[in-house]
Amino acid sequence: MTPRWRLLLLALALAALLPAVLRVALAMPEFGAPTAALGQSVNALVPELRHVANMVAAVNFDLRGFDTLGEECMLLCAVTGATVLLRGARGERGDVRAGHLPGRPVIPRADATVLVCRAAATLTLLFGISVALHGMTTPGGGFQGGVIAASGLLLLYLGEGYAGWRALVPSPVLAAMEGGGAVLFVLCAGLPLIAGHPALTNGLPLGEAKDLYSGGLMIAVNAAVALSVTGSFGLLLVEFLEETREPADAPASNEADHEDGTMRART
């Protein structure tokens, strides 16, 4: 199909959807106006029933926690599928060198760059853990904290280079975090079922309102989500960055070997 036909089909699709989009946009309530009684009921009842201040976390991990379990399983399947596809085409060897364009000089990283990236990666990891731990009291939770913590791996890659990053970020650990978090979530939902109660029935102390360890079973569910999301996104980053490796049968490059040697010396 030529680009002209593609643009024509796009224009027809936009023309067909435009009336529906305008109708929905004009029918939307004013900003800040309540749209349903459910939200008002959650705000009125959940703080007393679950001793938490973050209503979004209460909905995700308690009121509709079974739906969240399905979403975590979808994330697990998506990451597993992407990993299988990438490794199937690339292979699983981790001892090859980083990709290098012939003729482009390799400039060693400055010590200041390495120091800044190491410090920023550490702070990013700690901030992600903090966001995950405070999921019951402030905006945040396991999903947000897990994404933030996993993003710190990119800073390690920028600071350490391919060889150092490959040694610091073992994919089996990330895979164990991904699967372990999912298993913990399943246990939180399944153990009450075995005892004859609804899934995710709380059997733990609720704690004090606005306390870090409030919410009962939601603490365990939040931790499970944090582990699974950190492992999932971290594993995706590892697989994407592994695509930058040179093939095992590629001709050796002195500059590339120099870079790998420099990075190994730094680590």
Helices (H) and strands (E) in the chain, counts: 9, 0
Sequence ranges of the domains in the chain: 51-266
* pTM metric for this prediction: 0.76
Environment class of 233 (CB within 10 Å of its CB; exposed 0-12, middle 13-18, buried 19+): buried
User: Which pair of structure tokens corresponds to residue 22?
Assistant: 């305008």
**pLDDT surpassing 90 at residue 92:** no
Mean pLDDT of the region 179-200: 93
Among the listed residues 218, 220, 233, 216, the one whose alpha carbon sits nearest the alpha carbon of residue 146? 233
**pLDDT surpassing 80 at residue 33:** no
CB 207 within 8 A of CB 105: no
How confident is residue 266, by pLDDT bands cut at 50, 70 and 90?
Answer: very low
Residue 91's pLDDT is what? 66
Mean pLDDT of the region 53-79: 92
For the chain, what is the radius of gyration of the CA atoms?
Answer: 24
Residue 170's pLDDT is what? 86
Flag the least confident range among 94-98, 106-110, 222-226, 231-235.
94-98
Mean pLDDT of the region 95-122: 82
Among the listed residues 68, 71, 51, 49, the one whose alpha carbon sits nearest the alpha carbon of residue 59? 68
For 117-131, the pLDDT digits (tens) are 999 999 999 999 999
CA distance 116 to 96: 27
